[in-house]
Homo-oligomer: A and B are copies of this chain.
């Protein structure tokens, strides 16, 4: 196999539910292949391979170290509970494995920094698994809001991700457990809201985070619903609302001085093959204020591959550049991750300190 066609060989560490989606994405990505699945037992790994119809050549491994020790594994996808990320992402980096890490990436930025430092030291690519970033719709939306003529400057962003967890989730899911995913709904749903707000603001960190009142915590103290306001020094602002206790909603509204963008399925598009959004520029009203001129236009963007496969493809492209051409890891992705984590931490701190503003220092 020539270098140009040698796929990046993935190992998965942990047979989480989300790993099913990403293992398919690895199969769909033209420059990646799933080499091994690691679990705490070989039986569990083998069951995951069989249950998900993965190629019989996929190697079941146990325990997780076996994936890191496998000489043919180039990169690992880590969907373990957040509390285990620092251990396993660092271990992977030290073994020279590139790291695709599930979100939230860490319990706090200090932990994340340990991971990122290990990746830097070992010259491995780091990327978090925020799939919607890789949809071609996101690129198209980014072009529109970067256009000073049509959009002007961003003034405010409103981002909501809620879903209605069932009783089993609220009792047993790792995302409600303080020892597993202590950031709860903020780290899970809120991650996407915060990322979307940073994305819309060209990744400029807000100056301040202020939690909204009345966050909801479970008996173990884990956030299961909360909101926040983010503020920039120049007057820009954003609001986010994340919850496990309200019907599925995932919308982002970005309002500029000259235009507005709106999308109602930004994290998981309604349909895999395409994604749409609306955009309007310089809208006003008819003379008697009885209608809009113009009305927002619907834009539809077709995806050549599912967004998670595009993520794997982009990650693998970067890994190949490092592996085959001696390039340095792309720093854009860990930088975006770190900013997201910084904002998460500030919102959490404001929730915990009685809704006082918390400065965000990059």
Binding site for B on A (CB under 8 A): 18, 20-21, 24, 152, 155-156, 158, 160, 162, 164, 208, 210, 212-214, 216, 227, 229, 231, 235, 237, 239, 241, 243, 245-249, 251, 253, 255-260, 262, 264-265, 268-272, 278, 280-286, 288-292, 295-296, 306, 308, 357
**Cβ contact within 8 Å between B253 and A231:** no
A291 to chain B, nearest CB (A): 5
Given contacts A227-B229, A268-B290, A288-B21, contact A249 B255 (CB under 8 A): yes
Would A158 and B21 count as touching, CB distance under 8 A?
A: no
Q: List 19 A-B residue pairs with CB atoms under 8 Å apart, sorted by A's residue number.
A: A21-B290, A152-B247, A155-B246, A158-B158, A164-B257, A210-B212, A212-B229, A213-B357, A214-B235, A214-B237, A246-B256, A246-B260, A247-B256, A247-B280, A247-B282, A268-B285, A268-B289, A269-B291, A272-B290
**Which DSSP category, helix, strand, loop or mixed, fits chain A's interface?**
strand
The smallest C-beta distance from A242 to any residue of chain B, in angstroms, reads 11
Chain B residues lying within 8 Å of A295, measured Cβ to Cβ, are 270-271
* B248 and A251 contact, CB distance less than 8 A: no
CB–CB A257/B268 < 8 A: no
Give bound CA distance, A285 to B208, whole Å: 34
A268 to B251, CA, bound (A): 21
Contact B245–A155 (Cβ < 8 Å) = yes
The residue from B20, B231, B255 contacting A162, defined by CB atoms under 8 A apart = B255
Interfacial chain B residues near A269, Cβ < 8 Å:
291
Cβ-defined contact, A264 with B247, below 8 A: no
B262 near A291 with CB under 8 A, answer no
A277–B113 alpha-carbon span in the complex (Å):
44
Residues of chain B within 8 A (CB-CB) of A286 are 272
Which partner residue on chain B sits nearest A212 by CB separation? B229
Q: Which residues of B contact A291 (CB under 8 A)?
A: 268-272
Residues of chain B within 8 A (CB-CB) of A24 are 288
A258 and B247 within 8 A (CB): yes
- In the complex, the chain B residue whose C-beta lies closest to that of A255 is B246
Residues of B contacting A248 with CB < 8 Å? 260, 280, 283-284, 292
Which 9 residue pairs are nearest across A and B when measured between Cβ atoms? Answer: A155-B246, A270-B295, A246-B255, A272-B290, A248-B283, A247-B260, A270-B292, A21-B288, A249-B260
A53 to chain B, nearest CB (A): 12
Given A268-B292, A271-B291, A292-B268: A253 and B256 interface contact (C-beta under 8 Å):
no
